[in-house]
Structures are given as structure tokens and as C-alpha cells.
Amino acid sequence: MCAEQLPHRIWEPAAGRGAIVDVLRAAGHEVIAYDIEDYGVPGQAGGRDFLLETEAPDGIDCALTNPPFRIANEFVAHALKLCSRVIILARLAFLESERRRHILENAGLARVYVFRNRIPFMHRDNWNGPTATSAIPYAWFCWDRSHCGPATVHRISWGR
């Protein structure tokens, strides 16, 4: 997670089966969890398309999620309309691309936390085998609408 102070109440609009939600709740955060699919996860609102939401849940000003990469641009742009703070887990390659210029350079990207070590594949349903290290580098990208200037880059480790 970002090594910054997270608010007590957080919105996870693409919660999937709850991997991020579980970690946040275990750390004492109140999490409002949505997903476009209904996975039957307790405490999660399934069947909610985040991109069709018109306002954040009451008392929420921070969206934190691992959006589907192919629509991550839309997720960030939409989340920034609804919340002043947005945090996503995405491939480091998210920093590339002219198409993302508007959200990477002009929308308050404040910090990028790049993992020193690769994140293992631990999220697959019913996976009981060894965790394999991903060949893809990931980072936490943190926006704050009030941020001006360039983003800072930090290196972090998971699980250590």
C-alpha cells in the first residue's frame, strides 16, 4: 500500500473477491467495496459498474483499487471526478503513453511507489500451489487533486 496516511474510510470500486479490501479492513479501515461482478463476497456491493457511479459513497473522499488495466485510464479519470484522492495498483508501464498524459501530468499525480521486488501471483481463486513471481513490475500510483508539481517516486518492498 502507499506509505502515506490513508483515511479511515476508503472506497474500493473494483474489489473483485476482496484481496485489497481484506488487507485494508485488517488494518482497521472502513471500506466500501463495489465490483461490477457479484462474487457473493460479504460486505461488498456486487453488480455496481464504477464507471456509471455519479457520486462517491457518503463520507468517502479516497478511492483505492486495482482497476482492470485495459480501462485503468477511465477508472482514474472517473475516480478523480468523485474523490480528491485516488490510489491505484497498476503495472509500472502505466507511466508510459501519450493517452494517459492528462491524468499523469495534469491531474495531481503526487507519488508513485515502485516495488523493489516483484509481486507474486497470490490472487487467483482456489490457488493452493506455490506463488510465482510475476515478470511484470507494479507500483502504487497516488493522486491528490490539490497536488501541484511533479510526482515523487519512492521504492518500497512488499511483505518485508
Distance CA 79, CA 56 (A): 9
pLDDT at 103 over 70: yes
Whether 142 is covered by a domain: the verdict is yes
Strand partners, 80: none
Q: Assign 128 a pLDDT band (cuts: 50, 70, 90).
A: low
Whether 1 is covered by a domain: the verdict is no
> 3-class SS at 156?
strand
Range of the domain at 124: 9-156
Across the chain, mean pLDDT equals 88
> 3-class SS at 41?
coil
For the chain, how many helices (H) and strands (E)?
Answer: 3, 8
Whether 152 is covered by a domain: the verdict is yes
Q: Provide the percentage of residues in the chain whose pLDDT is more than 70.
A: 88
Q: Which CATH number covers residue 111? A: 3.40.50.150
- pTM (two decimals): 0.88
Termini Cα distance of the chain: 12
> Residues 106, 145: contact at Cβ < 8 Å?
no
Q: Tell me, what's the pLDDT at 2?
A: 46
Instruction: Write down the residue that cell numbers 507500483 correspond to.
Output: 139
Dump pLDDT digits (tens) for 5-42.
888 999 999 999 998 999 999 999 999 999 999 988 88
Whether 69 is covered by a domain: the verdict is yes
Distance CA 44, CA 57 (A): 13
Domain count, the chain: 1
